């Protein structure tokens, strides 16, 4: 779950270090698993949360319209 999200986000945020991306995804996964009753979509939601957080750090996303099309927050 984490590996797939990191691989996808790594392709999107080339200027951010892989270890930072992985730490962000892992933190989101841990937070969601701790309080989710249904764990089916934890990976997808964690990836979206991590993408929103990393978007604030990466300068290249300001020019990428595909990143802007994604919702910033998803509630469980």
> In three state form, how does the secondary structure of the chain look?
CHHHHHHHHHHHCCCCCHHHHHHHHHHHHHHHHHHCCCCCCHHHHHHHHHHHHHHCCCHHHHHCHHHHCCCCCCCC
Is the per-residue pLDDT at 8 higher than 80?
A: yes
What does the pLDDT look like over 39-52, one tens digit per residue? Answer: 889 999 999 999 99
**pTM higher than 0.85:** no
How far CA 22 is from CA of 44, 51, 63, 65, 67, in Å, comes to 14, 11, 23, 23, 19
């Amino acid at each position: 779950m984490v590996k797939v999200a990191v691989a996808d986000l790594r392709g999107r945020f080339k200027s951010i270090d892989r270890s930072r991306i992985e730490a962000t995804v892992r933190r989101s996964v841990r937070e969601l698993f701790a309080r989710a009753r249904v764990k089916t979509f934890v990976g997808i939601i964690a990836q979206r949360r991590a993408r929103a957080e990393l978007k604030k750090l990466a300068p290249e996303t300001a020019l990428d319209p595909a990143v802007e099309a994604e919702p910033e927050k998803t509630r469980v």
